[in-house]
Structure 1
Amino acid sequence: MDNRLVFWIDTINTWLGKAFGWCILLLTAATSYEVFARYVLGAPTEWAFDAAYILYGTLFMMAGAYTLARNGHVRGDWIYRSWKPSTQAKSDLVLYFLFFFPGIVTMFYVGWDYAAYSWSVKERSLFTPAGPIIYPFKTIIPIAGAMLIAQGIAEVLRCIYCIKHGNWPPRLGDVEELEQVLQKQYSTEGANGEKA
Protein backbone atom coordinates (compact mmCIF):
# COMPACT_ATOMS: atom_id res chain seq x y z
CA MET A 1 0.00 0.00 0.00
CA ASP A 2 1.20 3.46 -0.83
CA ASN A 3 0.99 5.49 2.39
CA ARG A 4 1.28 8.80 0.55
CA LEU A 5 -2.50 9.07 -0.02
CA VAL A 6 -3.23 8.13 3.59
CA PHE A 7 -0.67 10.61 4.95
CA TRP A 8 -1.92 13.31 2.57
CA ILE A 9 -5.50 12.90 3.89
CA ASP A 10 -4.19 12.77 7.48
CA THR A 11 -2.16 15.95 6.90
CA ILE A 12 -5.14 17.90 5.53
CA ASN A 13 -7.43 16.79 8.35
CA THR A 14 -4.73 17.51 10.93
CA TRP A 15 -4.26 21.01 9.57
CA LEU A 16 -8.04 21.63 9.53
CA GLY A 17 -8.47 20.20 13.02
CA LYS A 18 -5.76 22.44 14.42
CA ALA A 19 -7.01 25.50 12.52
CA PHE A 20 -10.58 25.06 13.73
CA GLY A 21 -9.30 24.23 17.22
CA TRP A 22 -8.83 27.97 17.68
CA CYS A 23 -12.63 28.19 17.89
CA ILE A 24 -12.32 27.05 21.50
CA LEU A 25 -10.36 30.19 22.40
CA LEU A 26 -12.89 32.40 20.65
CA LEU A 27 -15.72 30.52 22.38
CA THR A 28 -14.04 30.94 25.77
CA ALA A 29 -13.47 34.66 25.17
CA ALA A 30 -17.06 35.24 24.01
CA THR A 31 -18.54 33.33 26.94
CA SER A 32 -16.26 35.05 29.45
CA TYR A 33 -17.17 38.45 28.07
CA GLU A 34 -20.87 37.59 28.23
CA VAL A 35 -20.59 36.55 31.90
CA PHE A 36 -18.68 39.75 32.70
CA ALA A 37 -21.11 41.95 30.77
CA ARG A 38 -24.18 40.27 32.27
CA TYR A 39 -23.16 40.06 35.92
CA VAL A 40 -20.67 42.90 36.39
CA LEU A 41 -21.89 45.52 33.92
CA GLY A 42 -25.55 44.50 34.03
CA ALA A 43 -25.68 44.67 30.23
CA PRO A 44 -25.97 41.25 28.60
CA THR A 45 -24.98 40.99 24.95
CA GLU A 46 -27.31 40.16 22.07
CA TRP A 47 -24.69 38.11 20.21
CA ALA A 48 -23.12 35.77 22.79
CA PHE A 49 -25.63 32.93 22.48
CA ASP A 50 -25.35 32.85 18.68
CA ALA A 51 -21.56 33.07 18.87
CA ALA A 52 -21.45 30.19 21.35
CA TYR A 53 -23.48 27.71 19.34
CA ILE A 54 -21.87 28.68 16.03
CA LEU A 55 -18.34 28.34 17.41
CA TYR A 56 -19.05 25.15 19.33
CA GLY A 57 -20.89 23.59 16.39
CA THR A 58 -18.06 24.48 14.03
CA LEU A 59 -15.46 23.06 16.40
CA PHE A 60 -17.45 19.87 16.95
CA MET A 61 -18.05 19.25 13.24
CA MET A 62 -14.54 20.03 12.04
CA ALA A 63 -12.79 18.05 14.78
CA GLY A 64 -14.38 14.75 13.70
CA ALA A 65 -12.01 13.94 10.84
CA TYR A 66 -8.98 15.08 12.86
CA THR A 67 -10.00 12.80 15.74
CA LEU A 68 -10.51 9.89 13.34
CA ALA A 69 -7.05 10.52 11.85
CA ARG A 70 -5.61 10.29 15.37
CA ASN A 71 -7.60 7.11 16.14
CA GLY A 72 -9.18 9.02 19.00
CA HIS A 73 -12.86 8.11 18.76
CA VAL A 74 -14.37 6.01 21.53
CA ARG A 75 -14.60 2.24 21.14
CA GLY A 76 -14.88 -0.80 23.37
CA ASP A 77 -11.12 -0.95 23.89
CA TRP A 78 -11.28 -3.53 26.66
CA ILE A 79 -12.38 -6.13 24.08
CA TYR A 80 -10.71 -4.65 21.02
CA ARG A 81 -7.22 -4.52 22.59
CA SER A 82 -7.21 -8.26 23.21
CA TRP A 83 -7.60 -9.04 19.50
CA LYS A 84 -4.77 -9.51 17.01
CA PRO A 85 -4.24 -6.48 14.74
CA SER A 86 -5.61 -8.35 11.71
CA THR A 87 -8.81 -9.19 13.64
CA GLN A 88 -9.10 -5.55 14.70
CA ALA A 89 -8.70 -4.48 11.08
CA LYS A 90 -11.34 -6.94 9.83
CA SER A 91 -13.78 -5.72 12.48
CA ASP A 92 -13.07 -2.07 11.66
CA LEU A 93 -13.44 -2.69 7.92
CA VAL A 94 -16.87 -4.27 8.34
CA LEU A 95 -18.02 -1.54 10.72
CA TYR A 96 -16.85 1.25 8.39
CA PHE A 97 -19.01 -0.11 5.58
CA LEU A 98 -22.00 -1.05 7.76
CA PHE A 99 -22.24 2.10 9.87
CA PHE A 100 -19.66 4.80 9.17
CA PHE A 101 -20.00 5.38 5.43
CA PRO A 102 -23.83 5.18 5.29
CA GLY A 103 -24.13 7.71 8.12
CA ILE A 104 -21.46 10.09 6.88
CA VAL A 105 -22.57 9.98 3.22
CA THR A 106 -26.09 10.77 4.42
CA MET A 107 -24.73 13.65 6.52
CA PHE A 108 -22.91 15.02 3.46
CA TYR A 109 -25.88 14.63 1.11
CA VAL A 110 -28.50 16.07 3.49
CA GLY A 111 -26.05 18.72 4.72
CA TRP A 112 -25.44 19.85 1.14
CA ASP A 113 -29.17 20.43 0.59
CA TYR A 114 -29.50 22.05 4.00
CA ALA A 115 -26.63 24.45 3.30
CA ALA A 116 -27.84 25.20 -0.25
CA TYR A 117 -31.30 26.13 1.05
CA SER A 118 -29.77 28.27 3.78
CA TRP A 119 -27.69 30.17 1.21
CA SER A 120 -30.68 30.59 -1.12
CA VAL A 121 -32.75 32.34 1.56
CA LYS A 122 -29.78 34.10 3.19
CA GLU A 123 -30.81 32.49 6.48
CA ARG A 124 -30.44 34.37 9.73
CA SER A 125 -30.63 33.11 13.29
CA LEU A 126 -34.02 33.36 14.96
CA PHE A 127 -32.69 32.70 18.45
CA THR A 128 -31.65 36.24 19.35
CA PRO A 129 -32.60 39.78 18.32
CA ALA A 130 -29.20 40.25 16.66
CA GLY A 131 -30.12 37.63 14.03
CA PRO A 132 -26.66 36.99 12.58
CA ILE A 133 -26.30 35.27 9.23
CA ILE A 134 -25.90 31.52 9.64
CA TYR A 135 -25.65 30.18 6.09
CA PRO A 136 -21.82 30.11 6.22
CA PHE A 137 -22.10 28.09 9.44
CA LYS A 138 -24.44 25.58 7.80
CA THR A 139 -21.88 25.11 5.02
CA ILE A 140 -19.66 23.46 7.64
CA ILE A 141 -21.97 20.40 7.59
CA PRO A 142 -21.16 19.17 4.06
CA ILE A 143 -17.52 20.24 4.42
CA ALA A 144 -17.18 18.17 7.60
CA GLY A 145 -18.96 15.30 5.85
CA ALA A 146 -16.53 15.43 2.92
CA MET A 147 -13.52 15.46 5.24
CA LEU A 148 -14.91 12.51 7.21
CA ILE A 149 -15.51 10.57 3.99
CA ALA A 150 -11.91 11.22 2.93
CA GLN A 151 -10.60 10.18 6.35
CA GLY A 152 -12.82 7.09 6.24
CA ILE A 153 -11.16 6.10 2.95
CA ALA A 154 -7.76 6.52 4.61
CA GLU A 155 -8.90 4.31 7.50
CA VAL A 156 -10.17 1.62 5.10
CA LEU A 157 -6.75 1.64 3.39
CA ARG A 158 -5.15 1.21 6.83
CA CYS A 159 -7.43 -1.76 7.53
CA ILE A 160 -6.54 -3.40 4.21
CA TYR A 161 -2.84 -2.91 4.92
CA CYS A 162 -3.19 -4.45 8.39
CA ILE A 163 -5.14 -7.45 7.08
CA LYS A 164 -2.41 -8.10 4.50
CA HIS A 165 0.63 -7.48 6.73
CA GLY A 166 -0.61 -8.31 10.24
CA ASN A 167 0.25 -4.94 11.77
CA TRP A 168 -1.11 -1.42 11.64
CA PRO A 169 0.66 1.08 9.38
CA PRO A 170 2.14 4.14 11.08
CA ARG A 171 0.10 7.28 11.71
CA LEU A 172 1.21 10.87 11.67
CA GLY A 173 1.99 11.94 15.19
CA ASP A 174 1.33 15.22 16.88
CA VAL A 175 -0.20 14.30 20.22
CA GLU A 176 -0.24 11.14 22.29
CA GLU A 177 -2.48 9.89 25.04
CA LEU A 178 -0.74 9.90 28.42
CA GLU A 179 -1.37 6.16 28.70
CA GLN A 180 0.64 5.55 25.52
CA VAL A 181 3.48 7.79 26.71
CA LEU A 182 3.65 5.90 30.01
CA GLN A 183 3.57 2.52 28.25
CA LYS A 184 6.48 3.55 26.02
CA GLN A 185 8.38 4.93 28.99
CA TYR A 186 7.81 1.75 30.99
CA SER A 187 8.82 -0.53 28.13
CA THR A 188 12.01 1.51 27.51
CA GLU A 189 12.97 1.55 31.18
CA GLY A 190 12.14 -2.16 31.49
CA ALA A 191 14.32 -2.98 28.48
CA ASN A 192 17.23 -1.05 30.02
CA GLY A 193 16.87 -2.90 33.32
CA GLU A 194 16.00 0.29 35.23
CA LYS A 195 13.26 0.53 37.80
CA ALA A 196 10.16 2.49 36.84
Structure 2
Amino acid sequence: MTAFLRNLCRLVDLIVRLCGKAAAYLMPVLAFVVAFEVFSRYVLNSPTIWAFDLSLFLFGYIAALGGAYAQQQRVHINVDILYFRVSKRSRAVFNLISWSLGIFFLILVMKLCFGKFEEAMEYDYRRQSEWAPPMFHFWIMMIVAAGLFVAQLGRDMLAELYFLVTGQPLIEDTDSGSEDNRDENSSDKNEDEKAEAAK
Protein backbone atom coordinates (compact mmCIF):
# COMPACT_ATOMS: atom_id res chain seq x y z
CA MET A 1 0.00 0.00 0.00
CA THR A 2 2.80 2.39 0.89
CA ALA A 3 4.52 1.69 -2.42
CA PHE A 4 1.29 2.48 -4.28
CA LEU A 5 0.91 5.78 -2.44
CA ARG A 6 4.52 6.72 -3.17
CA ASN A 7 4.13 5.93 -6.86
CA LEU A 8 0.92 7.97 -6.94
CA CYS A 9 2.70 10.94 -5.37
CA ARG A 10 5.59 10.64 -7.81
CA LEU A 11 3.18 10.50 -10.75
CA VAL A 12 1.43 13.69 -9.63
CA ASP A 13 4.81 15.34 -9.03
CA LEU A 14 5.96 14.41 -12.53
CA ILE A 15 2.82 15.70 -14.28
CA VAL A 16 2.79 18.96 -12.33
CA ARG A 17 6.52 19.49 -12.87
CA LEU A 18 6.23 18.95 -16.62
CA CYS A 19 3.25 21.29 -16.92
CA GLY A 20 4.92 23.94 -14.80
CA LYS A 21 8.14 23.86 -16.78
CA ALA A 22 6.22 23.83 -20.05
CA ALA A 23 4.37 26.97 -18.94
CA ALA A 24 7.73 28.59 -18.16
CA TYR A 25 8.67 28.31 -21.84
CA LEU A 26 5.83 30.73 -22.58
CA MET A 27 7.73 33.50 -20.78
CA PRO A 28 10.11 34.30 -23.66
CA VAL A 29 7.16 34.10 -26.06
CA LEU A 30 5.33 36.67 -23.94
CA ALA A 31 8.41 38.89 -23.83
CA PHE A 32 8.77 38.68 -27.61
CA VAL A 33 5.11 39.57 -28.21
CA VAL A 34 5.34 42.62 -25.93
CA ALA A 35 8.65 43.72 -27.47
CA PHE A 36 7.26 43.30 -30.97
CA GLU A 37 4.23 45.42 -30.12
CA VAL A 38 6.45 48.18 -28.70
CA PHE A 39 8.64 48.08 -31.81
CA SER A 40 5.64 48.13 -34.14
CA ARG A 41 3.91 50.94 -32.28
CA TYR A 42 6.79 53.33 -31.62
CA VAL A 43 9.26 52.55 -34.40
CA LEU A 44 7.08 51.46 -37.31
CA ASN A 45 4.11 53.54 -36.16
CA SER A 46 1.90 50.56 -37.00
CA PRO A 47 0.53 48.91 -33.83
CA THR A 48 -0.81 45.39 -34.11
CA ILE A 49 -4.39 44.39 -33.31
CA TRP A 50 -3.42 41.08 -31.74
CA ALA A 51 -0.43 41.64 -29.43
CA PHE A 52 -2.39 42.97 -26.44
CA ASP A 53 -4.91 40.11 -26.44
CA LEU A 54 -2.24 37.49 -27.03
CA SER A 55 -0.06 38.85 -24.21
CA LEU A 56 -3.04 38.71 -21.84
CA PHE A 57 -3.71 35.09 -22.78
CA LEU A 58 -0.06 34.13 -22.41
CA PHE A 59 0.22 35.80 -19.01
CA GLY A 60 -2.94 34.01 -17.88
CA TYR A 61 -1.59 30.67 -19.07
CA ILE A 62 1.74 31.19 -17.30
CA ALA A 63 0.20 32.33 -14.00
CA ALA A 64 -2.54 29.70 -13.86
CA LEU A 65 -0.54 26.69 -15.05
CA GLY A 66 2.33 27.67 -12.75
CA GLY A 67 0.16 27.60 -9.63
CA ALA A 68 0.40 23.85 -9.04
CA TYR A 69 4.15 23.91 -9.68
CA ALA A 70 4.55 26.75 -7.18
CA GLN A 71 2.68 24.62 -4.63
CA GLN A 72 4.97 21.70 -5.37
CA GLN A 73 8.01 23.91 -4.75
CA ARG A 74 6.41 25.41 -1.59
CA VAL A 75 6.84 29.00 -2.78
CA HIS A 76 3.33 30.25 -2.13
CA ILE A 77 3.00 32.89 0.60
CA ASN A 78 2.98 31.50 4.13
CA VAL A 79 2.86 33.04 7.62
CA ASP A 80 6.39 31.85 8.42
CA ILE A 81 6.64 33.72 11.72
CA LEU A 82 4.14 31.25 13.20
CA TYR A 83 4.62 28.28 10.88
CA PHE A 84 8.25 27.61 11.73
CA ARG A 85 7.79 28.05 15.50
CA VAL A 86 5.65 24.92 15.87
CA SER A 87 6.43 21.23 15.54
CA LYS A 88 6.28 19.37 12.23
CA ARG A 89 3.08 17.64 13.31
CA SER A 90 1.47 20.99 14.03
CA ARG A 91 2.61 22.22 10.63
CA ALA A 92 1.03 19.16 9.06
CA VAL A 93 -2.29 20.03 10.73
CA PHE A 94 -2.01 23.65 9.53
CA ASN A 95 -1.28 22.39 6.02
CA LEU A 96 -4.24 20.02 6.00
CA ILE A 97 -6.62 22.79 7.03
CA SER A 98 -5.33 25.38 4.55
CA TRP A 99 -5.05 22.91 1.68
CA SER A 100 -8.58 21.64 2.30
CA LEU A 101 -9.83 25.21 1.94
CA GLY A 102 -7.71 25.58 -1.18
CA ILE A 103 -9.22 22.46 -2.77
CA PHE A 104 -12.74 23.69 -1.95
CA PHE A 105 -12.02 27.03 -3.63
CA LEU A 106 -10.42 25.40 -6.68
CA ILE A 107 -13.38 23.07 -7.17
CA LEU A 108 -15.62 26.14 -7.25
CA VAL A 109 -13.26 27.70 -9.80
CA MET A 110 -13.44 24.57 -11.96
CA LYS A 111 -17.24 24.56 -11.80
CA LEU A 112 -17.42 28.25 -12.74
CA CYS A 113 -14.92 27.87 -15.57
CA PHE A 114 -16.78 24.88 -16.99
CA GLY A 115 -19.94 26.97 -17.13
CA LYS A 116 -18.01 29.76 -18.86
CA PHE A 117 -16.58 27.23 -21.32
CA GLU A 118 -20.06 25.96 -22.20
CA GLU A 119 -21.28 29.51 -22.75
CA ALA A 120 -18.24 30.38 -24.86
CA MET A 121 -18.83 27.37 -27.10
CA GLU A 122 -22.59 27.86 -27.37
CA TYR A 123 -22.54 31.61 -28.04
CA ASP A 124 -19.07 31.89 -29.60
CA TYR A 125 -17.86 34.35 -26.96
CA ARG A 126 -14.89 36.43 -28.01
CA ARG A 127 -12.68 39.13 -26.58
CA GLN A 128 -14.23 42.56 -27.03
CA SER A 129 -11.37 43.92 -29.10
CA GLU A 130 -10.55 44.58 -32.73
CA TRP A 131 -8.87 41.19 -33.07
CA ALA A 132 -11.72 39.46 -31.18
CA PRO A 133 -10.11 36.05 -30.49
CA PRO A 134 -12.34 33.22 -29.15
CA MET A 135 -12.42 32.65 -25.39
CA PHE A 136 -13.19 28.93 -25.09
CA HIS A 137 -9.52 27.86 -24.94
CA PHE A 138 -8.89 30.13 -21.96
CA TRP A 139 -11.59 28.42 -19.89
CA ILE A 140 -10.26 25.00 -20.85
CA MET A 141 -6.84 26.09 -19.62
CA MET A 142 -8.33 27.36 -16.34
CA ILE A 143 -10.08 24.02 -15.76
CA VAL A 144 -6.84 22.12 -16.42
CA ALA A 145 -4.81 24.49 -14.22
CA ALA A 146 -7.27 24.21 -11.33
CA GLY A 147 -7.34 20.42 -11.76
CA LEU A 148 -3.55 20.25 -11.58
CA PHE A 149 -3.59 22.41 -8.47
CA VAL A 150 -6.20 20.14 -6.84
CA ALA A 151 -4.11 17.09 -7.73
CA GLN A 152 -0.98 18.63 -6.19
CA LEU A 153 -2.82 19.69 -3.03
CA GLY A 154 -4.37 16.22 -2.77
CA ARG A 155 -0.94 14.66 -3.13
CA ASP A 156 0.46 16.94 -0.43
CA MET A 157 -2.46 16.20 1.90
CA LEU A 158 -1.91 12.48 1.40
CA ALA A 159 1.74 12.88 2.36
CA GLU A 160 0.86 14.93 5.46
CA LEU A 161 -1.78 12.41 6.59
CA TYR A 162 0.74 9.61 6.20
CA PHE A 163 3.22 11.57 8.30
CA LEU A 164 0.64 12.22 11.03
CA VAL A 165 -0.29 8.54 11.21
CA THR A 166 3.16 6.95 10.93
CA GLY A 167 5.53 9.73 11.95
CA GLN A 168 7.57 9.04 8.81
CA PRO A 169 7.62 10.96 5.51
CA LEU A 170 5.78 9.21 2.70
CA ILE A 171 8.25 10.37 0.09
CA GLU A 172 11.48 12.32 0.19
CA ASP A 173 10.93 15.60 -1.67
CA THR A 174 14.52 15.84 -2.81
CA ASP A 175 13.75 17.50 -6.14
CA SER A 176 11.04 19.89 -5.00
CA GLY A 177 10.70 22.70 -2.51
CA SER A 178 10.14 20.49 0.52
CA GLU A 179 9.55 21.69 4.04
CA ASP A 180 12.95 20.38 5.02
CA ASN A 181 14.55 22.63 2.43
CA ARG A 182 12.49 25.56 3.69
CA ASP A 183 13.49 24.75 7.26
CA GLU A 184 17.14 24.71 6.26
CA ASN A 185 16.84 27.97 4.35
CA SER A 186 15.00 29.58 7.25
CA SER A 187 17.58 28.46 9.79
CA ASP A 188 20.41 29.66 7.53
CA LYS A 189 18.71 33.03 7.23
CA ASN A 190 18.31 33.27 11.01
CA GLU A 191 21.99 32.44 11.51
CA ASP A 192 22.96 35.13 9.00
CA GLU A 193 20.78 37.67 10.81
CA LYS A 194 22.35 36.74 14.15
CA ALA A 195 25.83 37.13 12.66
CA GLU A 196 24.95 40.55 11.30
CA ALA A 197 23.53 41.60 14.67
CA ALA A 198 26.70 40.45 16.42
CA LYS A 199 28.76 42.73 14.20
TM-score, length basis structure 1: 0.84
Match of 1:26 among 24, 29, 37: 29
Deviation at 1:140, TM superposition (A): 0.9
Asked if the contact 1:123/1:133 (under 8 Å) is kept, the reply is: yes
Point out 4+ residue stretches in structure 1 off by more than 3 angstroms: 165-169
The residue that corresponds to 2:8 in the other structure is 5
Q: Equivalent of 2:54, from 42, 51, 54?
A: 51
Q: TM (normalized to structure 2)?
A: 0.82
| Counterpart-to-counterpart distance in 2, 1:83 and 1:174 | 22
CA–CA separation in structure 2 for the residues paired with 1:120 and 1:158: 41
**Residue pair 2:127, 2:133 contacting (<8 A) in 1 also:** yes
1:44-101 CA deviation, whole Å, 9 max, x = no partner? 111111011100011111111111111221101122112211110011112222x212
| Residues 20 and 172 of structure 1: CA distance in aligned 2, closer, same or farther (over 3 Å) | farther
Percent identity of paired positions between Structure 1 and Structure 2: 22
Deviation at 1:167, TM superposition (A): 5.3
Q: How many residues align?
A: 181
Match of 2:125 among 123, 139, 154: 123
Q: 2:64 is aligned with what amino acid?
A: M
Paired with 1:175 and 1:43, the residues of 2 have a C-alpha distance of: 45
Q: Deviations over 1:123-163 (max 9, x none)?
A: 2211x211112211221111112111111110111111221
Unpaired stretches in structure 2, ≥5 consecutive residues = 189-199
Which sits farther off after the overlay, 53-62 or 131-140?
Answer: 131-140
Question: Which residue of 1 is the match for residue 112 of structure 2?
Answer: 110
Distance between the aligned counterparts of 2:130 and 2:121, measured in 1? 20
Whole-angstrom CA distance in 2 between matches of 1:72 and 1:120:
38
Alignment of 1:97-176 (within 5 A): 97=100, 99-126=101-128, 128-166=129-167, 168=169, 169-171=171-173, 173=175
CA positional deviation for 1:104? 0.7
Once residues 145 and 77 of structure 2 are traced to their aligned partners in structure 1, the CA distance between those partners, rounded to angstroms, is 19
CA distance in structure 1 between the aligned counterparts of 2:147 and 2:138, rounded to whole angstroms: 15
* Map 1:65-76 → 2, pairs under 5 A: 65-76=68-79
Q: Find the aligned partners of 2:177 and 2:163 in 1 and give their Cα distance.
A: 22
Whether contact under 8 Å (2:72, 2:176) holds in the other structure is: no
- Counterpart-to-counterpart distance in 2, 1:123 and 1:151: 31
- Where does structure 1 lack aligned partners over 5 or more consecutive residues? 187-196
Quick check: 2:67–2:145 contact (8 Å CA) kept in 1?
yes
More helix by share: 2
CA distance in 1, matches of 2:10, 2:44: 50
* Structure 1: distance between partners of 2:176 and 2:156: 18
CA contact (8 A) 2:75 2:177 kept: no
